[in-house]
A and B are shown apart, each in its own frame.
Chain A
């Protein structure tokens, strides 16, 4: 079955500390992988995406993610978290021309 697992429901990180959000996927074809961020009551904002090529992907707002095929993972990282990063983060997988399958999301809280 095709699925995305985000093992961490809620993470709290101190401002200025590093962040890693985990994402594992199960997909039968070549996966296209995405990370989105959503603030309360808002739509989705694309942070980064992986289609092919370099497995380390740079995104907006200082985020990066690394695709590891052998581990079926696409973890999101940021070296130094800002209070404005507090939001809901969704990992998603899809194929060419198909709908995306989303994980359940990870809520990020940032403490001062």
Chain B
């Protein structure tokens, strides 16, 4: 099956620092990757759509200057939370859309970000 990894799985940082989260499709190419955010005991909300070689498309209300997304290759997308604050603490989950066929999206295991 298709595997998507995320690194790190858990990160704790101080307020004001930046944190980079990587999302990799390990055994397939992903033209499109999606970044979701999940607050405790809530559902997943789409933050942005990341297409290889082009700028990400952000959902309304998501600050593109705060959540920098780079999709440099067909297997890697990164999310950088810049100048993180406690309210950015959340569970960040990526998914990768495998090329061709149906909407075969595969989710990463998620990254728990805690900002102190």
B13 within 8 A of partner (CB):
no
Measured in the bound complex, the distance between the Cα atoms of B32 and A102 in whole Å is 18
Say if the beta carbon of A82 comes within 8 Å of chain B: no
State the Cβ distance, B112 to closest chain A Cβ, in Å.
Answer: 7
Interface size on A, residues (CB 8 A): 21
Interface flags, A12-56, vs B, CB<8A=1, else 0? 000000000000000000001000100001111010000100000
Residues of B within 8 A of A43 (CB): 93, 107-110
B39 CB to closest chain A CB (Å) equals 11
Q: Which B residues contact A (CB, under 8 angstroms)?
A: 31-32, 34, 36, 42-46, 49, 93, 95, 97, 102-103, 105, 107-110, 112
Nearest neighbor of A104 in chain B, beta-carbon distance:
B43
Name the one of B32, B45, B97, B107 contacting A44, with C-beta atoms under 8 angstroms: B107
**Assembly CA distance A51 to B105 (angstroms):** 12
Given contacts A43-B93, A90-B44, A103-B43, contact A98 B109 (CB under 8 A): no
> Nearest Cβ distance between residue B9 and chain A, in whole angstroms?
9
Specify which chain A residues have a CB less than 8 angstroms from the CB of B103 in the assembled complex: 32, 51, 94-98
Residues of B near A46 (CB, < 8 A) are 107
User: Which of chain A's residues has its CB closest to B108's CB?
Assistant: A43
Does A1 sit within 8 A of B, measured CB to CB?
A: no
Query: Majority SS of interface residues in chain B?
Result: strand
Contact present for B93 and A100 (CB under 8 Å):
no
Q: A90-B43, A97-B97, A99-B46 are in contact. Are A42 and B109 (CB under 8 A)?
A: yes
Closest to B107 in A: A44
Most buried by B among A32, A36, A43, A103: A43
Q: Which residue of B lies closest to A45 (CB)?
A: B107
CB contacts (< 8 Å) of A32 on chain B: these are: 102-103
Q: Which 9 A-B pairs have the closest CB atoms?
A: A43-B109, A43-B110, A51-B102, A99-B34, A99-B46, A102-B43, A102-B44, A32-B103, A104-B43
